Amino acid sequence: MFIGVDLGTSGVKLILVDKDGNIHHSVTKSYPLIIPASGWTEQDPNVWLEETVEGLKEIVRGHEDHIQGIGFSGQMHGLVLLGEDDQVLRNALLWNDQRTVKEVEYLNNQIGLETLLDETGNIALTGLTAPKVLWVKNNEPEIFEKISKVMLPKDYLIYKLTGVFASDTTDTSGTLYFDVKHRRYSEQMLAILGLNETMCPKIFESDEVIGIIKEDIKKTLSITQDIKVTCGGGDQSMGAIGVGVVEDGHCSVSLGTSGVVFVANDHFSIDTKSYLQSYCHANHHYMMMGVMLNAAGALKWWSEQIFENFDYQDYFKKISFAKPDEDLYFLPYLSGERSPINDPYAQGVLYGLKLHHRKEHLDRAVIEGITFALKQTFELIEKLGSKIETIKITGGGAKSEKWAQLIATIFNKKVERLQIEEGPAFGAAITAMVGCETYPTVKDACQNIVKIKDHFLPEQSLVELYDQKYQKFIKIYPTLKTLQNEI
């Protein structure tokens, strides 16, 4: 039996899985978000550890003698700082913390995009780890001077449970002080931040065994045998492993609050125009992804806040009564946007309203607009050389057959849904299986474990219509942006 642990933003999820991928038990422990100021988000790493240990106690109960390995997944980009005594110096700064605007401007403009791309393969964004390090250096120098160890959220759990100061290539790729192409720390970026490599964890691949659970933790869990531990990886890579996106050109589209287009690549590539994120993947190769800030989140806003309709089955049923309208468009940029346009000031828009439009026409336009924006990111990745034939959709939005069909038609690709979707915790458990040599590689594990539930093919009668509409959609934002700059 294997355990997958996913340290999320609202809670930690643990699953107990057998070698065939069957889920025997699932436990979730929640913890609060700390918001010291508007746009700031923090959490106490000690609470993460407490809740994870409590979750482990529950999930191993009755299976104590059968646990072989544990793999980890975690929210990416967070900053955890420890002092010489291994005590937490301050609350962790999270991936969605927005306090680092000045630091991002400094990195992108003063250090320069060319240097960042050469050293890391990515540019600075407010969510990444390096700008957070600079923020602490600039605003809390008394804390910065005490730093002994710098780590990511899940790595704190691993350190406390194993005593091993370790991280993995996928999660560290999102720090902006890691040379993604060569899978090593960037000496130049560490120097810019005022850090050195001794402060950073040793880097492993996601499926490598980094150590075993400490004796005191084993005692707490009533376990006597050694339990092997793999680092696993960042939640996006682990989520992709959990749905079998492991081979070159394999693609997943996550329809959560945000929308993530994730593509596995055998070779490293950089996007120098739209600045999609290029990271290491858990299959020992690479991946590229674009994150859209509001996917199902835009649908939730439209349905619940505007119309107070919480019945999504009713929502998707009604859009069937409205044919695609070639003149009605929705731009889902309700919180600015990261991918595909990288504009924090972008705004949401309903364009082309006429007297004959009813609510179901607007409902359809909202779903189309979200899907068009996802396709725009998808096309950017394809243009960089990825050959993609099939898309696996995940997240809450994947429950809708109508949305799955719309994605197949608008993308003009085969779309698949999965029998079991347990998210990043499942991917973390798969890395534990490989670490314990139950499977030789992540690819082998996924081929044996991940199963497809159903699939959708493009509705050919609508493919050309939607392609024409999509071409108009991508022209609206730059046109309105010009007007926005003039107002």
- Residues in Cβ contact with 114 at an 8 Å cutoff, skipping those fewer than 6 apart: none
Both tokens of 451, joined, read 């199963």
- Among candidate residues 212, 235, 217, 229, the one with its CA nearest the CA of residue 55: 217
Cis peptide before 340 (omega within 30 of 0): yes
Which tokens sit at 232?
């696993």
- What is the torsional sign of CA 334, 339, 340, 341? positive
**Integer Cα distance of 427 and 158 in angstroms:** 16
- Residue 353, helix vs strand vs coil: coil
Q: How far is 465 from 455, CA to CA, in rounded Å?
A: 22
Measured distance CA(256)–CA(104) in Å, rounded = 26
* E strand intervals along 83-201: 92-93, 149-151, 166-168, 178-179, 184-185
Q: What are phi and psi of 408, to 5 degrees?
A: -60, -40
What residues have CB less than 8 Å from 89, skipping those under 6 apart?
81, 82, 83, 143, 146, 147
H runs (alpha helix) in 384-459: 401-411, 424-435, 442-449
Please return the burial class of 482, using the count of CB atoms within 10 Å of its CB with bins 0-12, 13-18 and 19+.
Answer: exposed
| CA angle (107 as vertex; 101, 109 as ends), nearest 5 | 95
What is the C-alpha to C-alpha distance for residues 265 and 271, in angstroms, rounded to an integer?
13
Annotated catalytic residues are: 235
